[in-house]
Amino acid sequence: MNICIISGSPRWNSNTVKLAKAIESLAKEHHEVSVIDFAHYDIPLEGQGKMEHGSLSNFQQTLYNDMEKAELVFILSPEYNWMPSAEIVNFFNQMTGKEYTTMWHNKVFALAGVSNGRGGRMPIIQMGIMLNKVLGIMNYHSFICPRYFEGYSTHEHIDETGSSKGNLQYDKSMKNFVDIAASYAAKWAAGA
């Protein structure tokens, strides 16, 4: 199975990319995995104009290609004032139209929120609302995995390489999140 992991933080070496690397480490043993780091993000704001599908930047084209071939897409966002990152919101605004159908159609999406304290739930809720609206309005045959992951105090549990710092409860919860999402995606791909 092809898996795409989107780290929706614009910050270099963010807690969100640490979680993305941890998920990658868990998934790459059995799946082909790519990680998109929004530290390289260059999608213009909606008010600055639409992107041209035929002339995407390297970052935009990689994002498009990796999502297009994936059966499972993890979308991770930091929690900024109880909201997902502005980059995630703008990404949904700019890259969900008909010309981007293959990024969104026949996929399973798994959502996680990342916090440096007790948090992560609100970005999941907001992304779920936005993504469900896109999938429904655009008639994309995809769905969001009902198992979410709240990455609380991430910097205390995962190092810069995505390796565990030894919190067994955090590790178990993250592994369950990855395993359940992969299970849903496998069933969806098989038509079950």
Listed in sequence order, the DSSP H helices in the chain are: 15-27, 58-69, 86-94, 101-104, 121-137, 154-157, 168-190
Percent of the chain with pLDDT over 90: 83
Report all structural domains of the chain as residue ranges with CATH numbers, in order of start: 2-190 (3.40.50.360)
pTM: 0.95
- 13-31 in b/e form (b: 16+ CB < 10 A) is ebbbbbbbbbbbbbbeeeb
Strand partners, 158: 164
Return d(Cα 151, Cα 157) in angstroms, integer: 9
* 116-170 per-position pLDDT tens digit: 777 778 999 999 999 999 999 999 999 999 999 999 899 999 999 999 999 999 9
Contact 115, 154 (CB under 8 A): yes
Return d(Cα 188, Cα 184) in angstroms, integer: 6
pLDDT surpasses 90 at 71: yes
Residue 38 DSSP symbol: G
